[in-house]
Amino acid sequence: MSDEGAALTYQACAGCGARWWFRRERCPTCGRAGPLDRASAGEGTVEAVTVVHRPPSDDWRPYAPYALVLVWLDEEFRAMGLADRGLAIGERVTARSAVRAGNRVPVFGRLGTSAPVIR
Amino acid sequence: MTYLAGSACTRFGDHGGQGTLDLMAEAADAALADAGIERGDVDGLLCGYSTTMPHIMLATVFAEHLGLRPRYCASLQLGGATGLLMAATAHLVVEGGGADRVLVVAGENRRSGQTRDASVQALAQAGHPEHEVVLGATIPAYYGLVASAYLDRFGATEADLAELAVLMRRHASTHPGAHFREAITVADVMASRPVAEPLKLLDCCPVSDGGAAAVLSREALNDHCLEVIGTGQAHTHQHLSAAPSLTEFGAGPSAQAALEQARVPVARVRYAGVYDSFTITLAILLEELGLASRGASGRLAAEGHFSAGGPVPLNTHGGLLSYGHCGVAGAMAHVAELHRQMTGRAGDRQVPGELDVGLLHGDGGVLSSHVTMVVAR
């Protein structure tokens, strides 16, 4: 399965089992080279949420105010992403991919409200 | 054994017309005068950085500017913790025999030297470029995230955090050099414009111009010296997304190391200078340092625990939140105020009683890097 389309990817260490979000050449826990690149299923629990009213640049002004969250993913790593409004700490969420201010980024929404699947 | 022998802090606010070196020189000369020594007596120099005068060798530039020829000289960088790092490093340099009289100095015209947008954008680059900055995250956003986790975990409220802003403003009203002195109430804080929820404008420190300096020495240079009896640090992450925990940061281990070295329990602390970039920063640091129980710092502030007349007077100059924040010198203002208070020279602001043990704490990044220093009279 290709992970080119994954909203969220992470890395895992084949040696010590650590998982982490930021791309690195070596495991930040044990230093082993060649971490495994994995696609996250994108599901997890909200740990923190903020709504940004004061954007960092003109690129972000059209989106303000916008929500950011920290999520503990089921694969046991933490990631930050944009989010739908109204999410609370403890809610179950899922990540989708979107383009914001010219960058492809993860956006979290409430789990269970994804678009209907046409069978 | 080293001594905090002199200190000074300029007015913080709008110093339009004075650049980084001007502000640094003003603070440096005042600190040297406070210590009772001349420029020619300085044999060590530690500086930080200035976002309005980015330079890879700021300390050397400043040595040239002041006509100093130090035998130890360096520019340090640790984000918001830089000011206290400079003081702690000066102590270690003197202890190690690198210099006998170290001038520690910072200054920046962060307010008048660049537009507000430019300073927000410069600081926003502190996040991870590929994973966090691309999300439109800002420094207040990282602290907003931390604040949401804190309020959820410890059962505190936004009004509790607001009490810390109110206290800092009350303290600033007693200091003529403070950037913001007009009294505010919890209602004012709660009604102030949202920046990154739950943080509102008055939960955040302002952007100010200013400078501050200190002299750390091998010998007691005058009758108003404090002994540096312990230092500590802790570094757990840089970027918030990589923090090992969202509700426990490095302030505890940093303070523990400093207090153990000082052989003093935290209960003996009679004056505190704690980094307060946001109300949430101050709440978390006070609690992790052991100066308040978890979730209780706002309530304790409301009860007068950290007031000038209370058991642990805190940031009696108004802190970053109201005295102002001009970058590296922002945290050094806490050092200068502690020095004034603990040596009985704070005039109208003087806290009563015997202030024999003081604690200083600074953090940089998003509660990423921590420095603690314990001093005694």
| Domain spans in chain A, listed from the N-terminal domain onward | 43-110
Mean pLDDT computed over A51-79? 97
Triad B254, B258, B259: Cα angle to 5°: 115
For position A114, what pLDDT does the model report? 55
For position B290, what pLDDT does the model report? 98
Q: Which amino acid would we find at residue B89?
A: T
For position A2, what pLDDT does the model report? 44
pLDDT in tens, B156-203: 999 999 999 999 999 999 999 999 999 999 999 999 999 999 999 999
Q: Do A47 and B132 touch (CB under 8 A)?
A: no
CA–CA separation, B193 and B186 (whole Å): 13
C-alpha dihedral, A43 to A46 to A50 to A55, nearest 10°: -20
Beta-sheet pairing, B209-217 with B194-196: unpaired
Q: Which amino acid would we find at residue B38?
A: E
Mean pLDDT computed over A83-94? 98
Given a cut of 60, whether residue A24 has pLDDT beyond it is: yes
For position A88, what pLDDT does the model report? 98
Give Rg (Cα) of chain A. Answer: 16
Mean pLDDT computed over B42-52? 96
CA–CA separation, A105 and B245 (whole Å): 23
CB atoms within 10 A of CB A36: 11
For position B118, what pLDDT does the model report? 77
pLDDT in tens, B94-109: 999 999 999 999 999 9
Q: Is residue A112 classed exposed, middle or buried when 0-12, 13-18 and 19+ CB atoms within 10 A define those classes?
A: exposed
Say if residues A69 and A95 touch (Cβ distance below 8 Å): no
Q: Which residues pair with A106 in a beta bridge?
A: A97
Mean pLDDT computed over B235-261? 98
Cα dist. B263→B227, B229, B231, B260 in Å? 13, 8, 11, 5
Residue ranges of chain A whose CB lies within 8 Å of a chain B CB: 20-23, 47-57, 59-60, 63, 65-66, 68-70, 78-82, 89-90, 100-101, 103, 105
Q: Is residue B187 classed exposed, middle or buried when 0-12, 13-18 and 19+ CB atoms within 10 A define those classes?
A: exposed
For position B114, what pLDDT does the model report? 82
The one-character DSSP state at B1 is -
For position A115, what pLDDT does the model report? 54
**Per-residue b or e along B108-129, where b marks 16 or more CB atoms closer than 10 Å to that residue's CB:** bbbbbbbeeeebbbebbebbbe
Mean pLDDT computed over A26-50? 97
Given a cut of 50, whether residue A3 has pLDDT beyond it is: no
Given a cut of 80, whether residue B123 has pLDDT beyond it is: no
Binned at pLDDT 50, 70 and 90, residue B301 comes out as very high
CA–CA separation, B323 and B332 (whole Å): 12
Question: Using CB atoms and an 8 Å cut-off, which of residues 1-30 of chain B contact chain A?
Answer: none
Binned at pLDDT 50, 70 and 90, residue B115 comes out as confident
Instruction: Using a CB–CB cutoff of 8 Å, tell me whether B140 touches chain A.
Output: yes
Say if residues A18 and A32 touch (Cβ distance below 8 Å): no
Lowest mean per-residue pLDDT among A13-17, A114-118, B85-89, B94-98: A114-118
CA–CA separation, B106 and A51 (whole Å): 33
**CB-CB neighbors (< 8 A) of B194 in chain A:** 51, 53, 65
Tokens 């984000």 -> residue:
B79
Q: Which CATH number fits domain B2-113+207-376: 3.90.700.10, 1.10.10.10, 3.40.50.12160, 3.40.47.10?
A: 3.40.47.10
Among chain B residues, CA nearest to A58: B117
Residue B196: both structure tokens together:
């990154």
In what helix (H) or strand (E) does residue A38 lie, and over which residues does it extend?
strand A36-39
Say if residues A46 and A69 touch (Cβ distance below 8 Å): yes
Say if residues B85 and B120 touch (Cβ distance below 8 Å): no
Cα dist. B99→B2, B38, B54, B110, B308 in Å? 11, 15, 26, 31, 36
For position B122, what pLDDT does the model report? 73
Given a cut of 80, whether residue A117 has pLDDT beyond it is: no
Given a cut of 80, whether residue A67 has pLDDT beyond it is: yes
SS3 of residue B336 by DSSP: helix
Tokens 């992470």 -> residue:
A10
Residue B287: both structure tokens together:
């609690």
Mutate to test the interface with A, among B148, B201, B236, B248 (most CBs of A within 10 A): B148
Among chain B residues, CA nearest to A47: B149
With pLDDT > 70 as the criterion, what percentage of chain A qualifies? 91
Question: What is the CATH number that goes with domain A43-110?
Answer: 2.40.50
> How confident is the prediction for chain B on average, in pLDDT?
96
Instruction: Using a CB–CB cutoff of 8 Å, tell me whether B332 touches chain A.
Output: no
Q: Which residues contact A41 (CB under 8 A, 6 or more apart)?
A: A74, A75
For position B162, what pLDDT does the model report? 98
For position A4, what pLDDT does the model report? 55
Q: Do A80 and B196 touch (CB under 8 A)?
A: no
pTM of the model: 0.96
